[in-house]
Amino acid sequence: MALRGPLFRLLRTKFRNTLQQSRGQSVAVLGAPFSRGQKRRGVEHGPKVIRDAGLIDRLSALDYSVHDFGDLTFLTIEEDEPYMDVRSPRNVGAANKMLSGAVSRAVGAGHTLVMLGGDHSLAIGSVGGHAQQCPDLCVIWVDAHADLNTPMTSPSGNLHGQPVSFLLKELRDKVPDIPGLSWVKPVLTARDLVYIGLRDVDPGEHHYLKSLGIQYFTMRDIDRLGIGKVMEATFDHLLARTQRPIHLSFDIDAFDPSLAPATGTPVIGGLTYREGIYVTEEIHNTGLLSVMDVVEVNPALGANREAVGATASLAVDIVASALGQTREGAHTSMDEVPAVKEDTEQLRL
Ligand SMILES: NC(=[NH2+])NCCC[C@H](N)C(=O)O
Ligand SMILES: [Mn+2]
Ligand SMILES: [Mn+2]
């Protein structure tokens, strides 16, 4: 008799969690302080505020060996005229080239990598570098936006609204050669990608979502199905045939702006805290997370210090949860239990 059903799934999940924790995996953290994929300055300070909100300690507490690679240093290219309305193409191209090399090296060295942005144009380099090591990867894109405009369909000229068009093989002929970006090779097919959280999709993006048959779950789908079914369908779509590395590209604006106010393109009606954490918990439970981007945290845009702190803490929470922090609690070894008990007893005495 084949073991199936909820009990099997529960056991499998627990077994995997135990395995992963006991292996003492290593997590690498890499900051990418870059903002030229959009017009609002400040998002380049994302890595700093996310670190200041306690990221490294939280990951160390999860029993990982944490390697903080610090922040990349992006040199500004002064002469960078827009090309067909696309802004800062040479700076975006150069930053992503550097990022893609760094991501590839970190993954190649065996780390699970957390990339802290920066704006979402960085996914070009992050997914591209990841794919150099893991050509069979799949992408879960959690975002209010599809970031699927081509330079021709973009209403804003901002490259943070376009990275997916540069990554998709099916759009190769729709994306013109742009100065600074001609080195980018598409690494994904439409089948390798699932969107979660969409609620602000431009007409050109909607056209490509439909015509390429991309699997996506809007906020309406989450309302209708519940986040549990959405995650099941996501994994069915991406992993039913083969287990393969997951690239999670998490734009903080997927969350409702009441939870993540410090971001450049907030859209009302987003993920609740519990939905967002459920997404990352489920991704952890697959045991397949390989690279995670956390992008679009912009401390210059919070109304006050609390708003910025809340957004940065939320970013830390989703990273911790994607890497195995659970709401049910966990223990790594039985030796730790008596130690805690002794302390309590001493206190009582
Ligand atoms: N990564 C983001 N926050 N992207 C917002 C994109 C907004 C809009 N769709 C555009 O292309 O300009
Ligand atoms: Mn977005
Ligand atoms: Mn985005």
Query: pLDDT band for position 220 (50/70/90)?
Result: very high
Q: Is the residue at 339 inside a domain? A: no
Altogether, the residues listed in the chain come to a count of 349
Q: Name the residues annotated as catalytic.
A: 120, 143, 145, 147, 160, 251, 253, 296
Q: Is the residue at 46 inside a domain? A: yes
* Average pLDDT of the segment spanning 246-251: 99
Nearest atom within ligand 1 for CA of residue 121: 1
Please, where are the H alpha helices in 109-226?
Answer: 123-133, 163-167, 203-211, 219-225
Query: pLDDT band for position 254 (50/70/90)?
Result: very high
Establish whether residue 293 lines the binding site of ligand 1, counting it when its CB lies within 6 angstroms of any ligand atom: no
**Residue 306's domain is classified under what CATH number?**
3.40.800.10
Q: Is the residue at 249 inside a domain? A: yes
Nearest atom within ligand 1 for CA of residue 205: 9
Q: Which of 2, 13, 31, 19 is nearest to 319 (CA)?
A: 31
In this structure, the residue with its CA closest to atom 3 of ligand 1 is 265
* Average pLDDT of the segment spanning 153-159: 98
* Average pLDDT of the segment spanning 264-290: 98
Q: What is the pLDDT of residues 118-136, one digit of tens each?
A: 999 999 999 999 999 999 9
**Domain of 121, in residue numbers:** 25-323
Tell me the HSE value of 179 on the side-chain side, using a 13 A CA sphere: 13
Q: Is the residue at 131 inside a domain? A: yes
Q: Per-residue pLDDT for 338 more than 70?
A: no
Nearest atom within ligand 1 for CA of residue 119: 1
In this structure, the residue with its CA closest to atom 4 of ligand 1 is 161
Tell me the C-alpha distance between 88 and 67, whole Å: 31
Residue 274 host element (H or E): helix 273-286
DSSP string, 333-345: -TTHHHHHHHHHH
For residue 201, the ligand closest to its alpha carbon is: 1
Q: What is the predicted pLDDT for the residue at 14?
A: 44
Q: Is the residue at 251 inside a domain? A: yes
Q: Is the residue at 334 inside a domain? A: no
Q: Is the residue at 347 inside a domain? A: no
Q: Which residues are annotated as part of the binding site for Mn(2+)? A: 120, 143, 145, 147, 251, 253
The Å distance, Cα 253 to ligand 3 centre, comes to 7
| Spatial contact of 32 and 293, defined as CB atoms under 8 Å apart | no
Query: pLDDT band for position 336 (50/70/90)?
Result: low
Q: What is the pLDDT of residues 49-104, one digit of tens each?
A: 999 999 999 999 998 999 999 999 999 999 999 999 999 999 999 999 999 999 99
Establish whether residue 51 lines the binding site of ligand 1, counting it when its CB lies within 6 angstroms of any ligand atom: no
Nearest atom within ligand 1 for CA of residue 295: 1
- Has the ipTM of the complex gone over 0.95? yes
What is the number of domains present in the chain?
1
Establish whether residue 266 lines the binding site of ligand 1, counting it when its CB lies within 6 angstroms of any ligand atom: no
Query: pLDDT band for position 342 (50/70/90)?
Result: low
Tell me the C-alpha distance between 295 and 284, whole Å: 19
- The tokens for 194 are 């699932």
Ion ligand 3 residue ranges (Cβ < 5 Å): 120, 143, 145, 147, 251
Q: Is the residue at 211 inside a domain? A: yes
The Å distance, Cα 155 to ligand 3 centre, comes to 15
- The tokens for 63 are 């029993």
Q: Per-residue pLDDT for 328 more than 60?
A: yes
